[in-house]
């Protein structure tokens, strides 16, 4: 079936109609209800020539009459077809047209209700919904992909005022990001995760303190099979060669299974020992020389409610669907089709690969 294409000039008219329709509930009440002429009178008026003495053109007068009528009717009842739009019309709301409907044009402005015009350069299709309830400006539903966007810079942009820009919900995956060469996801700002973060590796990356203009500096995370917290410091021993180390007041409530390390600084301390284990969020060191500095470290394993309910399973069998597939198949000499993503999302990954091949084969703009 051939695509139905709306040209830019037609698009502007349709966009104006749609925007006005969304606010029709308020405006229609404010409009004066003019008496409707009989059919012969209406036909006669339509055949009258434009009044050249007015500033509005004949086409503008006709458009204003159409908009007023649409506002009084509260919704668009029919669609008229010409050479720029083919398909079937509908006498009901919502409006039905033949699919697929492709809208194209070069739009550099839009008009909408105050506060509803999105940031940046607007797109060809703009959806407004003035309903104060949980209604959508643009909604898509399908067995496979509900809403899809392509762009040379941004495929899909979501902006929330003042709340959330993009929300993803799924029975399997809420939001899936994939990239053949760059980052599958990029966040410019703080990120909050209320569940478990699973990764192959991690680090911090900053501008190098000694050469911030030309270098980066990265450090890997310190990891453990346990949910382990680390506390350390330096204690100065008293006249008896001992010290009491005070820990945070939440230490014992948060941690269990404590481990200790002591290191003498400046001189040997072969007799250093833990004189008293953690009690009341403190422990005691003894066996050193008066005034000696001692570096200490204590670790504990989390025992808070969330940690107790979500212990990390260090070793686990792969689910049946993921067996013979890899998180990183290229490291084992396997093709990308042997990745776990292909096992979980086979149709989506197949379609994404086909489109990537088409895009690479398409002639590049000069």
DSSP one-letter string for 251-271: HHHHEEEEEEEEEEESS--TT
* Residue 217, pLDDT above cutoff 60: yes
Q: Report helix, strand or coil for 161.
A: coil
CATH topology of domain 228-309: Immunoglobulin-like (2.60.40)
Cα–Cα distances in angstroms (integers) from residue 234 to residues 15, 105, 269, 364, in the given order:
69, 68, 14, 62
Residue 37: the pLDDT is: 46
Query: Of the ranges 76-85, 144-153, 352-361, which one carries the lowest mean pLDDT score?
Result: 76-85
Q: Report helix, strand or coil for 153.
A: coil
Cis preceding linkage at 162, omega within 30: yes
Angstrom distance (rounded) from CA 238 to CA 260: 20
Averaged pLDDT, 277-302: 97
Share of the chain above pLDDT 90, in %: 39
Averaged pLDDT, 181-194: 84
Q: Report helix, strand or coil for 13.
A: helix
Which of the two residues, 342 and 5, has the higher pLDDT score? 342
Reported as a single tens digit per residue, the pLDDT across 172-187 is 778 877 777 788 788 8
* Residue 270, pLDDT above cutoff 90: yes
Is beta strand 101-103 parallel, antiparallel or unpaired with respect to 4-6?
parallel
* CA end-to-end span of the chain: 32
Which of the two residues, 71 and 271, has the higher pLDDT score? 271
Query: Of the ranges 140-144, 246-250, 335-339, which one carries the lowest mean pLDDT score?
Result: 140-144
Binned at pLDDT 50, 70 and 90, residue 317 comes out as very high
Q: Report helix, strand or coil for 243.
A: strand
Average pLDDT over all residues of the chain:
74
* Residue 300, pLDDT above cutoff 60: yes
Which of the two residues, 339 and 117, has the higher pLDDT score? 339
Q: Token digits for 265? A: 């600084």
Residue 61: the pLDDT is: 60
Angstrom distance (rounded) from CA 169 to CA 327: 23
Angstrom distance (rounded) from CA 109 to CA 8: 12
Place of tokens 């040209």: 7
Residue 125: the pLDDT is: 60
Ranges of each domain in the chain: 1-167, 228-309, 320-361
Reported as a single tens digit per residue, the pLDDT across 328-359 is 999 999 999 999 989 998 988 888 888 778 87
Angstrom distance (rounded) from CA 53 to CA 173: 63
- SS3 track for 12-30: HHHHHHHHHHHCHHHHHHH
């Amino acid at each position: 079936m051939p695509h139905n294409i709306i040209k830019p000039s037609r698009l502007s008219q349709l966009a104006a109609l749609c925007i006005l329709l969304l606010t029709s509930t308020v405006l229609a009440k404010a409009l004066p209800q003019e008496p409707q002429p009989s059919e012969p009178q209406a036909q006669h008026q339509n055949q009258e020539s434009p009044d050249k003495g007015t500033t509005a053109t004949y086409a503008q007068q006709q458009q204003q009459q159409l908009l007023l009528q649409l506002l009084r009717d509260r919704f668009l009842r029919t669609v008229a077809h010409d050479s720029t739009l083919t398909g079937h019309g509908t006498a009901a709301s919502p409006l039905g047209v033949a699919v697929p409907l492709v809208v194209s044009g070069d739009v550099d402005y839009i008009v909408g209700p105050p506060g509803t015009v999105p940031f940046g350069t607007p797109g060809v299709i703009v959806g407004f919904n003035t309903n104060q309830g949980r209604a959508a400006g643009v909604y898509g539903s399908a067995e496979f992909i509900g809403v899809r966007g392509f762009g040379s810079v941004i495929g899909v942009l979501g902006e929330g005022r003042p709340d959330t820009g993009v929300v993803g919900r799924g029975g399997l995956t809420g939001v899936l990001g994939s990239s053949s060469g760059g980052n599958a996801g990029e966040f410019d700002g703080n990120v909050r995760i209320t569940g478990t973060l699973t990764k192959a590796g991690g680090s911090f990356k900053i501008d190098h303190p000694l050469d911030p203009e030309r270098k980066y500096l990265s450090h890997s995370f310190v990891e453990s099979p346990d949910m382990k917290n680390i506390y350390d410091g330096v204690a100065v021993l008293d006249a008896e060669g001992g010290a009491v180390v005070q820990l945070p007041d939440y230490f014992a409530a948060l941690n269990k299974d404590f481990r200790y390390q002591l290191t003498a600084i400046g001189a040997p301390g072969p007799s250093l020992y833990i004189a008293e284990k953690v009690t009341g969020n403190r422990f005691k060191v003894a066996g050193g020389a008066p005034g000696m500095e001692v570096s200490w470290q204590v670790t504990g394993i989390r025992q808070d409610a969330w940690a107790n309910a979500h212990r990390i399973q260090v070793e686990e069998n792969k689910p049946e669907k993921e067996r013979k597939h890899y998180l990183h198949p290229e490291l084992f000499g396997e093709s990308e089709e042997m990745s776990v993503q292909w096992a979980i999302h086979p149709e989506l990954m197949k379609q994404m690969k086909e489109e990537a091949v088409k895009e690479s084969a398409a002639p590049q703009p000069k």
